[in-house]
């Protein structure tokens, strides 16, 4: 019981820190210390607790490597002219009157192709954010639409790592899961599209009239060839090439374009890779076309290490076993789904990564589903809870990393409407169905 109180206290600390705008690593470190002291007081050997945290933190390093590669990709794409070209051509295709709606639709489409939310955000997402930089529109609205769209494909793309993980742990077939995910997503998708359409009309973006866009060809060699790094990512993802290799190939192509098309030296490009891309301060575009770089991800990397250490303690000490007992008492479909939502939020908050949220949710609710339903409904419910709720937790890297890439913060959360309409509307549908049938398990 003491451990549950400590978890609640840590959650409050994290929440207050996000509201106050503090760097999330500080409350995570404090939470880690609090839980270490709590578990040690309960009789767990300190050496074992440290081993749990250390072993779990080691799982963060493959994630961190991908994050650093994404940061390098962003900088190289800017130097190669890829992102400037996406911005320049994009302004010709997107109607500013419906910019927010278009951002949601475009990122949803790209995320289905790529199967990765981070890849979608760091490519087309960055380009979209640059289009509205300096415009009279709340950037959190645009970021919310981009991140929501990025997780549309992350949830139901056949190339999505989370979709494949869910299929693997539930022992279900991926294509059947995708059909179920589409059938449970159409209403939230339509509702989200309508909301983004209304937000677009009430927040028009005047990018066509921006003088900055017309300056891009003055500083970059803009032609279709500079889009090759982006096409390489899409093509390699379609052929299911491993993500790290895909990013390295894209970086390699971008470096070649940066040297031969944009006139940068190799050493200058390496500086961009480390410190982020930037133009001369006197240039009008210098405040718009900037970002990326490995150093920009160091703070996020610290958060990832601390969060995985924290989740290692929680998982290793079986702190959430009490929650499993509560879930098993659910007497109706809607109550079970509501319980899964609750577990998904808790797992996303204390697991701090989408992967751990999926694994912890599955572990805590699988017994009840296997007793009353089947693994396919379990897989669908995990996709409709843990997968889409993780980005809504400010310190979970599923939301923290995209926000960092888009040069924004947790202010995007209220506008990522698709992510919370998925669990909300599905729960409402279960309640309506029960009111008609009056059925319990």
Task: Give the residue extent of every domain in the chain.
Answer: 2-61+297-435, 62-290
Which candidate, 229, 227, 222, 226, places its Cα nearest to that of 253? Answer: 229
More confident residue, 212 or 235: 235
Q: How confident is the model at residue 285 (pLDDT cuts 50, 70, 90)?
A: low
More confident site: 212 or 217: 217
- pLDDT at res. 426: 93
pLDDT computed for residue 391 by the predictor: 93
Q: Is the predicted pLDDT of residue 281 greater than 70, yes or no?
A: no
Most confidently predicted of 130-144, 165-179, 369-383: 369-383
Mean pLDDT calculated for residue range 378-393: 92
* Residue 168's pLDDT band (cuts 50, 70, 90): confident
pLDDT at 210 over 60: no
Q: Is the pLDDT of residue 414 over 50?
A: yes
User: Does 232 have pLDDT greater than 60?
Assistant: yes
Q: Mean pLDDT throughout 15-34?
A: 80
Is residue 209 very low, low, confident or very high in pLDDT (cuts 50, 70, 90)?
Answer: very low
Confidence of residue 13 (pLDDT cuts 50, 70, 90): confident
Greater pLDDT, 70 or 237: 70
Give the pLDDT confidence score for residue 151 in this predicted structure. 92
Residue 253 pLDDT: 95
Which of 72, 94, 60, 59 is closest to 269 using CA atoms? 72
Give the least confident one: 66-80, 175-189, 199-213, 376-390: 199-213
Say if residue 106's pLDDT is above 70.
yes
Distance CA 227, CA 77 (A): 9
With a CB cutoff of 8 Å and minimum separation 6, the contacts of 93 are none
Q: What is the pTM of this model?
A: 0.73
Confidence class for position 74, pLDDT limits 50, 70, 90? confident
Q: Which long-range contacts (CB under 8 A, 24 or more apart) does 248-256 make?
A: 248/69, 250/73, 250/76, 250/77, 251/69, 251/72, 251/73, 251/76, 253/80, 253/228, 253/229, 254/73, 254/76, 254/77, 254/79, 254/80, 254/82, 254/229, 255/76, 255/80
pLDDT digits (tens, 9 = 90+) for 400-413: 889 988 888 888 99
The residue among 256 and 297 whose pLDDT is bigger is: 256
Q: Please give the C-alpha separations between residue 255 and each of 200, 269, 273, 278, 403, in angstroms, as whole numbers.
A: 36, 7, 10, 15, 26
End-to-end CA distance of the chain: 30
Q: Is the pLDDT of residue 382 over 90?
A: yes
Look at 48 and 235; give whichever has higher pLDDT.
Answer: 48
Tens-digit pLDDT profile for residues 302-339 = 877 887 787 778 777 877 766 667 777 777 888 889 98
* 379 pLDDT higher than 80: yes
């Amino acid at each position: 019981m003491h451990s549950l109180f400590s978890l609640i206290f840590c959650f409050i600390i994290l929440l207050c820190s996000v509201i106050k705008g503090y760097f999330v690593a500080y409350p995570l470190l404090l939470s880690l210390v609090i839980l270490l002291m709590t578990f040690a007081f309960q009789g767990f050997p300190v050496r074992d607790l440290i081993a749990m945290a250390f072993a779990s933190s080691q799982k963060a390093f493959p994630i961190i490597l991908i994050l650093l590669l994404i940061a390098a990709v962003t900088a190289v794409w800017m130097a190669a002219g890829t992102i400037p070209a996406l911005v320049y051509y994009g302004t010709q295709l997107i109607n500013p009157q419906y910019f927010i709606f278009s951002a949601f639709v475009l990122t949803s489409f790209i995320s289905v192709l790529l199967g990765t939310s981070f890849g979608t955000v760091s490519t087309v997402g960055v380009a979209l954010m640059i289009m509205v930089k300096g415009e009279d529109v709340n950037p959190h609205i645009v970021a919310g639409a981009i991140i929501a769209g990025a997780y549309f494909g992350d949830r139901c793309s056949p190339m999505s790592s989370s979709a494949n993980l869910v299929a693997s742990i539930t022992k279900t077939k991926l294509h059947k899961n995708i059909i179920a995910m589409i059938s449970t997503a159409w209403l939230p998708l339509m509702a989200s599209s309508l909301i983004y359409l209304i937000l677009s009309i009430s927040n028009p973006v005047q990018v066509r009239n921006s003088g900055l866009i017309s300056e891009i060809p003055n500083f970059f060699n803009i032609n279709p060839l500079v889009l090759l790094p982006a096409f390489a990512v899409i093509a390699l993802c379609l052929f299911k090439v491993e993500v790290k290799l895909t990013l390295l190939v894209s970086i390699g192509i971008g470096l070649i374009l940066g040297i031969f098309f944009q006139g940068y030296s190799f050493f200058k490009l390496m500086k961009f890779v480390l410190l982020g891309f930037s133009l001369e301060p006197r240039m009008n575009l210098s405040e718009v076309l900037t970002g990326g770089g490995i150093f920009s991800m160091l703070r996020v990397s610290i958060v990832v290490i601390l969060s995985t250490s924290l989740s290692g303690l929680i998982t290793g000490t079986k702190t959430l076993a009490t929650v499993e007992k509560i879930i098993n008492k659910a007497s109706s479909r809607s109550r079970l789904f509501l319980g899964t939502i609750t577990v998904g939020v808790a797992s996303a908050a204390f697991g701090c990564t989408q992967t751990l949220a999926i694994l912890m949710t599955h572990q805590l609710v699988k017994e009840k589903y296997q007793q009353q339903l089947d693994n396919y409904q379990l897989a669908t419910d995990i996709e409709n809870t843990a997968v889409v709720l993780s980005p809504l937790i400010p310190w979970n890297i599923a939301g923290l990393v995209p926000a960092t890439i888009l040069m924004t913060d947790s202010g995007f959360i209220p506008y990522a409407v698709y992510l919370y309409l998925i669990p909300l509307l599905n729960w409402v549908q279960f309640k309506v169905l029960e009111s008609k049938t009056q059925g319990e398990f």
